[in-house]
Chain A
Amino acid sequence: MTELSKSGAAVGEPTGTSPAPSSFLEVRDLKVHFPTDDGLVKSVDGLSFKLEKGKTLGIVGESGSGKSVTSLGIMGLHTAGQYGKRKAQISGEIWLDGTELLSADPDHVRKLRGREVSMIFQDPLSALHPYYTIGQQIVEAYRIHNNVDKKTARRRAIEMLDRVGIPQPDKRVDNYPHEFSGGMRQRAMIAMSLVNNPELLIADEPTTALDVTVQAQILDLIRDLQKEFGSAVIIITHDLGVVAELADDILVMYGGRCVERGPAEKVFYEPRHPYTWGLLGSMPRLDREQQERLIPVKGSPPSLINVPSGCAFNPRCPYADVPKDNLTRTVRPELTEVGSQHWAACHMTQEQRERIWTEEIAPRL
């Protein structure tokens, strides 16, 4: 295990509507709601964060916490593929390199996709088109944004495949996805997403579908490439272990909101939210004793239609009764600064949390 934080990826405080973005990427009060027959699904409900070039942000949460929707929102893909009458409702601001994306011309946003921002998906087998060769798919990604002939694009594809560590790239370029192994496919996927030197790379569960041994290779690859290309990276995962190595900052999501965020070392060593504690408890770690590991967070994720009142985590929180006046179940906690650049949303007092962490949680991890 290497160091946890290089610090510096500024995780800004929640801001109102100030139109001056200082960061490379700044998300302000993002809300993504989906109308369904059962009611309004509030997948993301007021999320804000910042990310600087060359830095890595890990967004962590269970499935359904809104982390993938957030990434799709940044890509401008939250409504894509939604045909028919019901469209997702999105509000807030997403500033990328000085441009606000939600109010921008959709065609402009489309042109940013794949060039400025690109994405790696969870399951490379299903994310790659089965009927086209790896080469064709990379060439296509390249030629959308670069006015070059096929030959040049193909050379670029081979170069990228070589860069991500695929042997005999000039031959494998003509293979179909089903002819690749899982890890190779993900390498190809990464090659495809980096073919245009994007400023921002979003990796959505990039290693979940892969073998444990391959996982580490892919993560190393992402880190190396980030260094080389200098891009900003968002890694979305349910597994804190994945971001432990990579992320400068960590943002923990629960029920469509941010419950804790801060520099990675803070979140790992001084977490200030009971949900983060739960996540840490369920994380396999190599630098700890082999005992009482993998404690899952009990209970199931909250309904995004009828979000529990008060703190959304309260039905699963073992410390729900610690704050007075039943506050946990009635009032929604706001993010408060708990340290330098470190924020958490919990009704417990700072002292209570410090005590519980140091006395009850940390020793068991």
Chain B
Amino acid sequence: MIAGHRKTSGGPRSRGGPRAVLAYLIRRLFAAAVMLVVIIMVVFGIFFLVPKWAGVDVATSFVGKQADPAAVEAVRVKLGLGDPIYVQVWEFFKGIFAGRTYAAGGDVTNCAAPCFGYSFRSEQAVWPVLTDRFPVTLGLALGAAVLWLLFGVSAGVLSALKRGTLWDRGAMVIALAGVSLPIYFTGLLSLAIFSYGLGWIDGEYVPLEESFTGWLSGMILPWITLAFLYAAMYARITRATMMEILGEDYIRTARAKGLKEQVVIRKHAMRSTMTPILTMLGMDLGALIGGAILTETTFSLPGLGQAVLNGIKNQDLPIILGVTLITSVAVLIANLVVDVMYAVIDPRVRLA
């Protein structure tokens, strides 16, 4: 889905203005929409067909210790598990646009559009759960991304400019540690030091709308922990890319023009260095939005990752389905944004 670093030297001439970007965007959007439909089908297949093959009765697992056949049957009816798969998929699609009503045993549950399913475990529509938890995960991912871009990229640039020095080697050793240590370790360690030990930070999540400072103090450790891992990767990539770019002819040209070295780095080298970093950023952000499970678990952040983990623990299929979908959409959007930014940054891509 990610547009590669396409080189289109000597192709047909075309103007690379905003219209080209727009046409490119439309092509990408269309591809993303097709992808989304495919994803929904696949996810549905996984969640409703695989248990069938494995011989697991989804309905039974919804009912408690004393499985009452009436209850099992009611759940089956409610979830529409008896319907053929295409009916289930269709009902699901319809629900997204038109909302859905679940009725069984005299109890009617409305799930307003956009209905991404209904969790009979926690008696909640999935969509509000997603919208409630999405900001937490988004805040985590974006905050961490800002940190890791800031520190990772600048460390990488500095390392590239001071290659071979103590600074460079030190930074790369720390980066190696960051890449190799799992979140579980760095997360618990940071909690143990800053929260339980020194008591500087409470470390508990507080919603943004409740208190900004509380939110900051709850997010700062997860951000740092997550950013540490990614900053390390970004520093390494930035360093390597920067070193390669600095050897490019057009950098020499820029210097030959009489540009200050600072401007050469900032305006000419950085822009090229950003291309692979942007690709990574898009993929990482997309993945994080659905998959910050470890970080969210370690820091008890009520985000999507935690929701999906609880969903798995509680056999809450609709939640898992919902999170999987929103994650896929997030990855798609992230890729789309990357593609568009690519086109903005690199005029050669617009031709593709």
Contacts and interface: CB of A to CB of B under 8 A. Distances in A.
Direct contact, A vs B (beta carbon within 8 Å): yes
Interface of A: 75, 77, 80-81, 83-86, 110-115, 118-119, 121, 123, 125-131, 133, 140-141, 144-145, 174-176, 178-179, 181, 192-193
Given A144-B259, A176-B348, A178-B347, A128 B253 contact: yes
B271 A115 contact: no
17 contacts: A75-B256, A81-B246, A81-B247, A81-B251, A112-B258, A114-B258, A119-B253, A126-B250, A127-B250, A127-B253, A130-B250, A130-B346, A130-B348, A144-B257, A175-B15, A179-B13, A179-B14
A176 B162 CA distance: 32
A179 B347 CA distance: 10
Contact of B252 (A81, A112, A118, A140): A81
Given A81-B246, A131-B271, A179 B16 contact: yes
Contacts of B246: 81, 83
B81 interface: no
A131 B273 CA distance: 12
Nearest to A111: B258
A283 to B, nearest CB: 27
A121 B258 contact: no
Given A83-B162, A141-B257, A145-B258, A126 B249 contact: yes
A84 B239 CA distance: 13
Contacts of A81: 246-247, 251-252, 255
A114 B165 CA distance: 32
**Nearest 3 Cβ contacts at the A-B interface:** A114-B258, A113-B258, A84-B164
B83 to A, nearest CB: 54
A121 B10 CA distance: 19
A125 B268 CA distance: 15
B121 interface: no
Nearest to B158: A83
Interface size class of B (residues with CB under 8 A): 35 or more
A286 to B, nearest CB: 29
B8 interface: yes
Contact of A126 (B160, B248, B260, B348): B248
Contacts of B168: 84
Nearest to A106: B261
Contacts of A193: 256
Given A83-B161, A84-B163, A110-B260, A123 B249 contact: yes
Contacts of B248: 126
B26 interface: no
B8 A80 contact: no
B71 interface: no
B256 A131 contact: no
Contact of B348 (A75, A85, A111, A178): A178
A176 B271 contact: no
B151 to A, nearest CB: 20
Contact of B272 (A75, A113, A131): A131
B256 A119 contact: yes
B211 interface: no
B345 interface: yes
Among A83, A123, A127, the one with the most B-chain Cβ atoms within 10 Å of its Cβ is A83
Identify which of B163, B164, B347 gathers the most chain A CB atoms within 10 Å of its CB. Answer: B347
B254 interface: yes
Between A84, A111, A113, the greatest number of chain B beta carbons within 10 A of the residue's beta carbon is seen for A84
A199 B165 CA distance: 39
Interface in B238-294: 246-261, 268, 271-272
B253 A131 contact: no
A128 B257 CA distance: 12
A121 to B, nearest CB: 6
B252 A80 contact: yes
B256 A118 contact: yes
B255 A113 contact: yes
Nearest to A178: B348
B9 interface: yes
B162 A84 contact: yes
Contacts of B268: 129
B253 A121 contact: yes
Nearest to A122: B249
A83 B257 contact: no
A127 B249 CA distance: 5
A175 B250 CA distance: 17
Nearest to B267: A140
Contacts of A77: 252, 255-256
A75 to B, nearest CB: 6
